[in-house]
Structure 1
């Protein structure tokens, strides 16, 4: 039996049909692998999670984990899992329409990058909490971010579609080539002068919007925020490391939460810049992740922003640092309630390790558990410790699979192995980082020894 809303629109499910209130969780397998606590959080709140997986999730991998009785996804009924071929709004709407007709959907929660716009539009159209369609759109395009918050933007120009001689009028070198809508540092390249621009342009798609920006010198930070109805309820600053000093790339190689060595004034500058950006894009409700550079002159410059939880292990780092369950916080915000928040009591770090070139065969470590998160489709839980507990290495995370080609870490997809550790706020994490990293051995077979070429592997 169904009833209809007086204002028209899709039928509203009748409670007599017996369905629990539902939350539509939109994600991909590689992302959801670190948000598995959402299942327990949903159960505790009396809501049924309905999962939408996108095209970055291979059919075979999803089926394998669904058939594994030890994997949390095996707990879900078949009718509560949807696998879509693309991330368009139209495809998402077609997919979830039966749920909207038959189930009492009370929340929409997106925990990945590729569905940000479609999920934002869906939530707003249903009158449910979310970042909002405008914030979602802006946070998927770096040029829109420059236009929305010009006071935080670096100097920039757009390369025309033909790009022949497009950089001729640009004189602010060193500079950075940056595709406007990619993620994971893909296509971001440093250029020292105009002669270096042309050879890189064929690496971008013909219709792709590419920015040429001034290169900002200074440490990079991200600000993670929990926001409800435009009000920042909690925010934390994460320090970031990249491989830019040794390469022309800007791949993130480490995160430390909360960021060390900042003065109170510098923390205020970063938090104020983050709040200003959220206001500029009219961010509604959810978790945001904005990346900034802080120059020697304490100028704060926006690099990019996302209307979703942060990538890598950052949510795990904040759980280790504060004790907060960020998956529960994400669900609470989506359901329209204030999450439980807490200040940092420890400091946590993730560091990606250098790896040999070749086909990955094994990863081992002394005294620290190794987790093949890519192959297993799940991350370890990593529960927080007491504030004064000794510094420790928690885990070695392997994001690649055996047999994968390890080469240049040109973007986030090129990384393979990281370590996660934490300690008291005043501890020397550099020392435990070195100790934990030294205990890890990454083994790879050189391509020549395997009788294969890099081109053949690709």
Structure 2
């Protein structure tokens, strides 16, 4: 058989590109693919612990044991991904490519387009991984911003420590143009709020710049005011067939960070006019980046200056947001994700209930245990699976649906500087007329996070 020859009667397959921490949220995809006669070919990246992956593959009770092929790659570049799937593409008739996580967004989008498969598109995938490109693509939605280049960094290093009126401060101020302080300093290509921090003065900016690698692209942006929301959308060939608005909480009021601490779907207390503004802005953003087919997750601020874009991702949202929409609508999103990957228009269901994820404060130290009076905690990193979420009737009483632990015993817990520092959250749902925040606070009191002193800390 020649190099380019393909074996006859190749089995139809789904190429699922992700990491263990992400796929454990979407394990229903494997069941749904099986029900449609598709073999599951999974590609996972270097962040997946090889021993954990092997253990789940060897466990007949774990859905990953039913995956036909699982390939782990040492990095998330396009060349590595193509090399890893080359043999799979010859052995299987890949009908769909579905990427669920952020780190593979760009190479997966490029590969899907090269294979002629439905996807967000190579351009949209590239833009989604770079906040500078997002601001260039949708300037009417962007805050005032500037790049912090080598000259600005040099000016920051030239500070002599004698106050804000020295020459380096003046140079730095000129380089920042019309971006007013206070502002937000953020890396262009990171995720999970990593490296995003508030700066109130030039002195703070100079000090913060020392914490970033010299070759990292940084933005300084006007600090947009107003509540933060995300818009999740299912898009079929450029047409938005469903979109929902999720309200977000962060720790920005008490810290200089912007770590997400809660999500509520659908967003409560959002008037029809403001919801329409967010949905219209999201539609303009998707058109601006040329989004094709798949699920998008965009984050905005809505305040006195209108709708301002924070960032967009061309994959399903993180945390428990897909689970919140499952509880709110009564229908999981995984079948719709698979429909879109196969080039089929998905079925959607309107929200009939409201759900909330709340991350809990934790004491500093080493995580020892998490207990709850109402239900057992789900240790998703250890078990490689999220708990099962079962929707209820629209008027059923408020419920505690899950206690989710995203860290492991022995992990150090400290300040929430980014999403990776969070440890425990609860997921609740309630009728739409209920105060969902009060419901979450009531159930939060039933959870106890126990830590031990961190002996390695002086």
Indicate the TM-score class for this superposition, using the shorter chain for normalisation. Answer: over 0.9
Match of 2:173 among 163, 168, 177: 168
1:263 equivalenced with 2:271 (yes/no):
yes
Match of 2:44 among 38, 42, 53: 53
1:453 equivalenced with 2:447 (yes/no):
no
Could you tell me whether the CA contact under 8 Å between 2:121 and 2:291 is conserved in 1? yes
Match of 2:225 among 206, 217, 221: 217
1:12: Cα distance to partner? Answer: 4.7
1:334 equivalenced with 2:334 (yes/no):
no
1:242 equivalenced with 2:237 (yes/no):
no
Match of 2:24 among 19, 33, 39: 33
DSSP-derived class of the 2:173 partner: coil
Deviates more, 1:63-72 or 1:26-35: 63-72
Provide closer, same or farther for how the CA distance between residues 249 and 213 of structure 1 changes in structure 2, counting only shifts above 3 A.
Answer: same
Deviations 1:425-446 (A, max 9, x none): 1111122111110000000001
Distance in 1 (alpha carbons) for counterparts of 2:138 and 2:388: 37
Q: Could you tell me which runs of 5 or more consecutive residues in structure 1 were left unpaired when the two chains were aligned.
A: 3-8
1:45: Cα distance to partner? Answer: 1.4
Provide closer, same or farther for how the CA distance between residues 236 and 13 of structure 1 changes in structure 2, counting only shifts above 3 A.
Answer: farther
TM normalised by structure 1 equals 0.94
DSSP-derived class of the 1:420 partner: strand
Could you tell me whether the CA contact under 8 Å between 1:121 and 1:132 is conserved in 2? yes
Could you tell me whether the CA contact under 8 Å between 1:65 and 1:74 is conserved in 2? yes
Look up the match of 2:63: 72
Match of 2:206 among 188, 198, 201: 198
Distance in 1 (alpha carbons) for counterparts of 2:347 and 2:396: 23
Deviations 1:31-53 (A, max 9, x none): 00100000111012111110000
Match of 2:140 among 133, 151, 163: 151
Q: How does 1:99-138 map to 2 (within 5 A)?
A: 99-138=88-127
1:10: Cα distance to partner? Answer: 4.7
Could you tell me whether the CA contact under 8 Å between 1:12 and 1:104 is conserved in 2? no
- How large is the RMSD of aligned CA atoms in angstroms? 1.4
1:398: Cα distance to partner? Answer: 0.2
Q: Could you tell me which runs of 5 or more consecutive residues in structure 2 were left unpaired when the two chains were aligned.
A: 157-171
Could you tell me whether the CA contact under 8 Å between 2:39 and 2:67 is conserved in 1? no
Deviations 1:162-217 (A, max 9, x none): 51226422350110001000000000000011110111112211210000000011
Deviations 1:57-88 (A, max 9, x none): 011121122222322112234xx110000000
Look up the match of 1:302: 309
* Residue correspondences, number: 439
Could you tell me whether the CA contact under 8 Å between 1:324 and 1:340 is conserved in 2? no
Distance in 2 (alpha carbons) for counterparts of 1:286 and 1:258: 20
Distance in 1 (alpha carbons) for counterparts of 2:438 and 2:376: 19
1:13: Cα distance to partner? Answer: 4.6
DSSP-derived class of the 1:165 partner: helix
1:222: Cα distance to partner? Answer: 0.2
Distance in 1 (alpha carbons) for counterparts of 2:150 and 2:5: 46
Could you tell me whether the CA contact under 8 Å between 1:13 and 1:104 is conserved in 2? no
